[in-house]
Amino acid sequence: MTEQATQTARAARRMTSSGLGQAVRRSKTLSKAGMLEWLFARAFSGLVYPQIWEDPVVDMAALQLKAGDHVVAIASGSCNILSYLTAAPIRVSAVDLNATHIALGRLKLAALARMERQEDFLRFFGRAKDGANVALYDREIADHLDAVSRGYWEGRGLNGRRRINLFARGFHRYGLLGRFIGTGHVLARLLGGNPKAMLAARDLAEQRTLYDRHLAPVFERKLVRWLVRQPASLYGLGIPPAQYKALAADGDDGILGALKLRLERLACDFDLKDNYFAQQAFGRRYGDGPDAAFPPYLQKQHFAAVKARSPNVSYRQSAVTAFLEDQPAESCDAYVLLDAQDWMNDADLTALWSQITRTARPGARVIFRTAADERLLPGRVPAAILDQWHYEEEKSRELCRQDRSAIYGGFHLYVLKGQAR
């Protein structure tokens, strides 16, 4: 890396730390809550999501994307950003406070620009466990990356290896989420469970039997009950202290009951053969064979469209509100906020929805998720803003039930009142 690139990369890392600190930290620094918030911000500053954990099929059903739409979305692992391109030739502005997620998204764009074969793209980002991926990066992709992203992937981790080598070693097993899932597997086996046994199920009835045998009993062990009462133990799921409190209040049995219910949904409510979230959770990778389930952007029938439309995706390291402040009025058609609002106080929510309302075209759609089954916005965002939007309550509940990721308590769809798009 050149000295200029090094300085730029350091600035990106400082922006990650500063932005996450502002987003998460609400308490006095030396208080218990303040220390937990600081710890979460530190944990969240590197690679968190090697795969995003929201169902893009549900997103697209809610957004009803059409040609020419401008979508503003939090990037995370970029699986959904690219999957939206399968719906229509749209423009996507991807934003994220985390510089590592920006580097991952730009790596995927550079790969799409240089790769001609879907098999290579799938091997790189789907299988993500082949030395040929690193050779392909060095030969075809590296010179076409921006300096900051290239500096990240060619930088070295604590083991002394270049980070790009993660794609030769099972990329999805790394990052905060990947390691959390791996730790969960180890803990379950130590306590008599076996998450991988779920993959042997041939139908929903067998899934229920295997869940009752290999997973449900783990939640009754004292160690698990103690662990889930520690907020820091769930940082690997991307749950900050404020969201932990909401999740703990969602149900009669607190945080333990909420987590058990979500895992039960993942294990029992959807055919595992068609659910790549379950494949990652229980197998720590996508499935094998010609019928294996993948996110839409990795599916063979979508490769040509995703590749052709990928130049319409741009990335910016920023908070959503700050990004929208720079956009013209009535310039956006769809907004994807993931679960970021669970992190926000009332002032943050009001600032965000003020900018969403200003920049939204008539009929624009906003989707987001919440850890708890709650509306979140009423009473926290002024009625003068929120009354300009229609909450699709029945549709939101239906789509939440269809979300194969199964981790959230609520899915929410708001539509700007006025003439439809």
Q: What are the tens digits of pLDDT across the range 152-168?
A: 999 988 889 999 999 99
d(CA 256, CA 25): 25
Which range is least confidently modeled, 185-189, 255-259, 313-317? 255-259
214: β partners: none
pLDDT of residue 373: 78
Torsion of CA 280, 285, 286, 287, to 10 degrees: -110
Percent of the chain at pLDDT exceeding 70: 84
Whole-structure pTM value:
0.89
413: β partners: 367
Confidence of residue 12 (pLDDT cuts 50, 70, 90): low
pLDDT for 224 beyond 70: yes
DSSP string, 275-326: -HHHHHHHHSSPPPSTT----GGGSGGGHHHHHHHGGGEEEEES-HHHHHHT
Is-contact 175 46, C-beta < 8 A? yes
Q: What is the bridge-based pairing of β-strands 389-391 and 332-336?
A: unpaired
pLDDT for 40 beyond 60: no
Confidence of residue 115 (pLDDT cuts 50, 70, 90): very high
Confidence of residue 22 (pLDDT cuts 50, 70, 90): low
pLDDT for 23 beyond 60: no
pLDDT of residue 143: 95
pLDDT of residue 371: 85
3-state class (DSSP) for residue 151: helix
Tokens 């160690």 belong to 223
**Residue pLDDT, tens place only, 334-366:** 999 999 998 888 999 999 999 999 999 999 999
386 membership: H or E segment, kind and range: helix 383-386
d(CA 408, CA 20): 22
d(CA 150, CA 213): 46
d(CA 266, CA 277): 8
d(CA 50, CA 125): 10
pLDDT for 286 beyond 90: yes
CA atoms within 13 A on the CB side of 20: 24
pLDDT for 20 beyond 50: no
pLDDT of residue 256: 86
Instruction: Based on DSSP, count helices (H) and strands (E) in the chain, helices before strands.
Output: 19, 7
